Amino acid sequence: MTKKTRIDIAACTDRHFVMPTGVMMQSVCVNNPNVDIVFHIIVDGDVTDDDKRDLRDITVSFEGKSIVFYLASEYVKKINFPALENRFSLTKTTYYRLWLAEIIPNDIDKILYLDGDVIVRHSLLPLWNTDLEGNAVGAVANEDVELFARLKISRELGYFNAGVLLIDLKYWRENHVTKEFLEYISLHSTEIVFHDQDVLNVVFREKKKWLPIEYNFAHYFLKKHVGSDFWKYEEEVRKVRRDPTIVHFTNNTIGKPWNKYQRNPHPFRSSFYKYQNQTKWKGVIYENRPITLRIINYVSDMLRKTGILPKVTRYDLIEIDPID
């Protein structure tokens, strides 16, 4: 009998992100039925036993799927995390992926890291079997952001989104990259804006393999008004935009599918609801805005509807009909 492929998947969560992480896991399991999958979930101390049970219940419903939890505080040494105020709703959990080489058991040489706000819509085997060609990570390009001067990265080297990473853990361990991450944070904390993503991009600026866009299809590939460098991805985006393998709900200003307030509903929200409705969180939405922000959003939206305020164009997304 042919031995099934095993895919190791890592994710990080705190109590606020348990539900989206569970929906992500459900989408992985549904679309990878003939693959053994181990989810390595790195948690904050505020993730309860009930939360862990809810995530574990997803895996027991599928053959060959399992889950392991790691408490971040047992691995993450005390450091001064850069201020998080410049990213709405971001917590220090985002930094935990920098410790993957220490947290994941040493007999695992490769891992696929997935953010909790992604949905997997097809088989992960082609991505998993990608040859990294000696690079530390495989990743998808990020939108055209004005950061190259800030991070002292050549524009030709590019900048990737860290929400989906195919990681060579053996490379990370042999090259002591965790130490390099921490040194960069210590010396450049005032320059860091996109947090661990900035750190990963600087350290791996010449040790990354570009992955196809379908493996981290973010909102900026659907914007009506795109960045100056995005012409180079136009043909690839057009081919995959109705049916990408991994959709990443990247922007809080637009609104995540599970949030009550969505200024410009994501074209792939139906994909999220499809898998959410298969879990115990069917129909769950969150209202995480303080009352003052709710009032501001309501008033500004009404003024835009009446034409008193101009319509926001920065986050306008094209309408598509996803193949689900």
Residue 246 is predicted with a pLDDT of 98
Q: Per residue in 209-246, pLDDT tens?
A: 999 999 999 988 888 766 656 667 888 988 999 999 99
The Cα–Cα gap between 250 and 146 comes to 17
> Largest alpha-carbon pair distance within the chain?
68
Helix ranges (H only) for the chain are 18-31, 49-60, 100-103, 125-128, 148-151, 169-174, 177-188, 196-203, 234-240, 269-276, 291-305
Per-residue pLDDT of the chain (324 residues; tens, 9 = 90+): 567 899 999 999 999 899 999 999 999 999 999 999 999 999 988 999 999 999 999 999 999 999 999 999 888 866 666 655 444 455 577 789 999 999 999 999 999 999 999 999 999 999 999 999 999 999 999 875 667 777 888 878 889 999 999 999 999 999 999 999 988 888 887 778 788 899 999 999 999 999 999 999 998 888 876 665 666 788 898 899 999 999 999 876 677 899 887 777 888 999 999 999 999 999 998 877 778 877 777 788 787 778 787 776 656 778 888 887
Residue 83 is predicted with a pLDDT of 58
Q: Which two tokens stand for residue 225?
A: 């008004």
Cβ within 8 Å of residue 196, ≥6 positions away: 94, 95, 97, 98, 162, 181
Q: Is the dihedral of CA 143, 147, 153, 156 positive or negative?
A: positive
The Cα–Cα gap between 322 and 267 comes to 8
Phi and psi, residue 51, nearest 5°? -60, -45
* Domain positions in the chain: 6-305
If we measure between CA atoms, which residue out of 291, 294, 275 comes closest to residue 283? 275
The Cα–Cα gap between 251 and 218 comes to 8
- If you search the block for the tokens 């009352």, which residue do you land on? 291
Please, are residues 171 and 136 in contact by the beta-carbon 8 Å criterion? yes
Is domain 6-305 classified as CATH 3.90.550.10? yes
Vertex 199 angle, CA 98 and 117, to 5°: 65
Q: Per residue in 103-141, pLDDT tens?
A: 999 999 999 999 999 999 999 999 999 999 999 999 999
Please, are residues 62 and 33 in contact by the beta-carbon 8 Å criterion? yes
Please, are residues 266 and 257 in contact by the beta-carbon 8 Å criterion? yes
Which 3 state secondary structure label does DSSP give 23? helix
The Cα–Cα gap between 8 and 10 comes to 7
**Residue 322 identity:** P
Residue 86 is predicted with a pLDDT of 45
Residue 91 is predicted with a pLDDT of 59
Render 57-70 in DSSP notation, one character per residue. Answer: HHHHTSTTEEEEEE
If we measure between CA atoms, which residue out of 267, 217, 224 comes closest to residue 239? 217
If we measure between CA atoms, which residue out of 55, 59, 56, 167 comes closest to residue 103? 167
